[in-house]
Each structure stands twice: as C-alpha cells, then as structure tokens.
C-alpha cells in the first residue's frame, strides 16, 4: 500500500555493501538498502551525511494520540458524538526523505504601506535588508501527495537529529526522487515563497524582493510519518501523526448530519437577511432622497447594498460546506480552508511574473 499512490517501473538491484537484492523504483535518485541501510546516489557514491528524526511513538501510542485528537477536534467541529462509531485501523509508519538545508540568507525587499494622515492616504516606503541564519526543510519526493506534508515540515524547526540507523526504523524507508543538487534551489525557493507570503500580509504592496543564500550545511534526513485510517459509518478518513513530535499533523473528520444541518440553517438565515436588505434598498433610497439634502445620508443605501452582498456571499460559502463529505482540521483543531496552498501560490506567482 503506497502512500504516494503511484505505480512505477521497478527493477531489482543488489546492494553494493551487503549484497542483498531489493527493488529500486525508476524515479529513485537516492536509495537506502532496507537490510543494511547503505544510502547512495543511484549510479553514484554513498551519501555523505544521513540523519533521521527519531520516532517517539509505538503503534499503540499512535492510536491513543489519534483518539485524543479526534475527540478534541470533533468537539470543535462536527460534534463529539462521532466517537462512539469510530474504528481506528492499525497505524502505518513510513520514513519520508527530506533535505535539511542551513545557511546564511541575505534578503532585500522594497514595499509600500498605506498610511492615514488626517483624511488622506499616503504611501510609506518600506525598504529593508536583512541577514539571518536559516534552516529550511524540503521534501525529497517529487510525487509528494503525502497527506499533511506541508504541515509536517513546519514542525521540523529545531528538532534534534541522530545518525541514520536502519535497525531503528522498523518500517519502510522511502527513497528520494530528488538529488542533492536540487535541494539548494528548492530550499531557496521555499524560503522566498514563505517570505513573500509574510511580506504580503505585512505590506500593502511588495515591489521588489531578492534573496541570496550561502549554504553551510545540507543533510539528507528521514522523518517518521504515521498514517492512521479510521472508519466511521461507511467512510474511511485519515489522520497523519508525526513520530518526531508525537503529535497529530492533520486529520479528516466526517461531516455529520448535525453539522450539515447547522451549516444549512446558517446559510438560509444569511440568504434571508441578504434578501431583506436588498428589498429595503429602494425604499431607504427613496426616503433619503425625499427627506434629506445631506449627501452623507446616501451612505445608508451603499451600506445596505454592501451588507446584502456580503451576506449573500457568506451564505454561498456556508452552503458549499454543506455539500462536503469531510472537513480537514489542523493539529490545533482549526478547519483548513486551503487558504494557503503551496502549489497554488506558486502558480499565482508565475502569473504575476509574466
């Protein structure tokens, strides 16, 4: 059962060190012998430094962590009632390959911020050069459909590593589909994307952003990733747990009838309120036009229109939730709206540049 769900051409390979035969995927760039742990670039040399983030959890502990999180997260969204019918399957551990890239980053950005001066708005120029030591993690898989991997990477900062030892893995060790030479540009790209997202939150306009990185250390590192499936009614849902921190990364919850009903009612209330505001609009405008000469009173119909449109859109969003089959929640029990999707922001960046 492959997590990444891809079937690839597989060839038999014989380990250079222990002579054991094992299969190698067609896309594998760095491979680890499942018997002795010998790790090398396919068609090349042994990898210099190979680390791992130690796994803290046994399968039973993973189940406990998932149960606790499910009860907490369900309480915040679909209701704790689901817990009576949840059946948790045996957790599945995989070691996923990453590169940890460390270095000194020199960044420069130029942007603008709107500021109110009395009753007019002025642009304030913001220009900054910074120097910082950064630690950036990138996944070493190309078919990175791993559930919650973005959230997983965010938990890696500052975690203690150990030298890789195959005897402590006790589960499949996935091979890398990205070579060491691709790690640095990917790390740089990742860092600049994160910076841009932060800057766009902080500034009203970002005119220029530049980054340069002197890489001081790069380590090939495997991290323990648990995928837990559970059944509820007749559906199957996933929860990802980090063996490195012992905590849930991301999980799915079934949308219950009660939850659906609440969203449904909320959207109906919003549509009705929106319709009432729109209905009131012509009357309010007529009354104001007849009785008042004050031009600021015209703000009333504008606000009515704005409020009506807002409620209508909000109603549509809630109605969209009604049609969903599951909700995805982060470790802290917040619903993930896919507001920040890495590939999405990458493609929007590409459009911006053109």
Binding interface with Zn ion (CB under 5 A): 15, 17-18, 33, 35-36, 38
Question: Nearer to Zn ion by C-beta: 28 or 195?
Answer: 28
What is the nearest approach in angstroms of Zn ion to the Cβ of residue 4?
23
Of 188, 3, 37, the residue nearest 107 (C-alpha): 188
Maximum Cα interatomic distance, the chain, rounded to a whole number of Å: 94
CB-wise, 35 or 342, nearer to Zn ion? 35
Q: Three-class SS of residue 157?
A: coil
User: Which CB sits closer to Zn ion, 40 or 342?
Assistant: 40
Whether the CB-CB separation of 341 and 328 falls below 8 Å is answered with: no
Q: How many CB atoms lie within 10 A of CB 122?
A: 11
Taking the complex as a whole, the smallest distance from the CB of residue 84 to Zn ion amounts, in Å, to 48
Closest to Zn ion by CB, 37 vs 308, is 37
Q: Give the contacts of 202 (CB within 8 A, at least 6 positions apart).
A: 113
Q: Shortest distance, CB of residue 168 to Zn ion, whole angstroms?
A: 16
CB atoms within 10 A of CB 302: 11
* DSSP-assigned states of every residue in 185-206: HHHHHHHHHHHHHHHHHH-SEE
Give min distance, CB of 15 to Zn ion, in A: 3
Positive or negative, the Cα torsion across 327, 330, 334, 339? negative
Q: Would you state the structure tokens that stand for residue 119, as one six-digit string? A: 């009753």
**Residues with Cβ < 8 Å from 89, sequence gap 6 or more?**
228, 229, 230, 231
Choice between 16 and 344, CB closer to Zn ion: 16
The distance of closest approach from Cβ of residue 24 to Zn ion in the complex, given in angstroms and rounded to an integer, is 12
For residues 50 and 100, which CB has a smaller minimum distance to Zn ion in the complex? Answer: 50
Q: For residue 269, what are its two tokens?
A: 């209330």
Of 12 and 295, the one with the shorter C-beta distance to Zn ion is 12
User: What's phi and psi for 187, nearest 5 deg?
Assistant: -65, -45
CB of 319 to Zn ion, least distance (A): 56
Minimal distance in Å, beta carbon 23 to Zn ion?
Answer: 13
The candidate with the shortest Cα–Cα distance to 332, out of 255, 260, 251, 237, is 251
């Amino acid at each position: 059962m492959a997590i990444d769900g891809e079937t690839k051409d597989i060839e038999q390979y014989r380990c250079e060190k222990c002579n054991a035969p094992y299969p190698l995927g067609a896309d594998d760039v760095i491979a680890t012998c499942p018997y002795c742990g010998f790790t090398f670039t396919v068609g090349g040399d042994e990898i210099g430094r190979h680390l791992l983030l130690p796994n803290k959890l046994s399968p039973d502990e993973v189940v406990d962590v998932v149960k606790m999180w499910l009860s907490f997260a369900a309480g915040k969204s679909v209701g704790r009632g689901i817990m009576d019918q949840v059946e948790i399957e045996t957790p599945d551990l995989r070691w996923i390959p990453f590169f940890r890239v460390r270095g000194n980053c020199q960044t420069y950005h130029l942007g603008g911020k709107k500021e109110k001066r009395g009753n007019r708005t002025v642009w304030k120029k913001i220009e900054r050069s910074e120097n910082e030591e950064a630690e950036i993690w990138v996944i070493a898989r190309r078919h990175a459909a791993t559930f919650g991997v973005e959230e997983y990477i965010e938990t890696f900062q500052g975690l203690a590593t150990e030298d890789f030892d195959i005897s402590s893995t006790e589960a499949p060790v996935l091979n890398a589909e990205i070579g060491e030479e691709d790690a640095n540009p990917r790390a740089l790209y990742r860092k600049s994307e994160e910076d841009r997202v932060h800057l766009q939150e902080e500034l009203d306009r970002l005119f220029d952003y530049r980054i340069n990185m002197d890489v001081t250390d790069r380590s090939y590192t495997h991290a323990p990733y648990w995928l837990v499936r559970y059944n509820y009614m007749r559906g199957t849902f996933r929860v990802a747990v980090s063996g490195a921190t012992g905590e849930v990364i991301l999980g799915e919850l079934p949308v219950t009838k009660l939850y659906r009903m609440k969203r449904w009612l909320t959207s109906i209330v919003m549509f009705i309120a929106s319709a009432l505001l729109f209905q009131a609009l012509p009357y309010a405008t007529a009354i104001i036009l007849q009785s008042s000469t004050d031009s600021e009173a015209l703000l009333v119909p504008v606000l009515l229109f704005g409020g009506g449109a807002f409620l209508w859109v909000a109603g549509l969003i809630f109605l969209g939730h009604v049609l969903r089959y599951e909700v995805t929640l982060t470790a802290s029990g917040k619903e993930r709206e896919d507001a920040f999707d890495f590939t999405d922001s990458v493609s929007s960046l590409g459009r911006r540049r053109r």
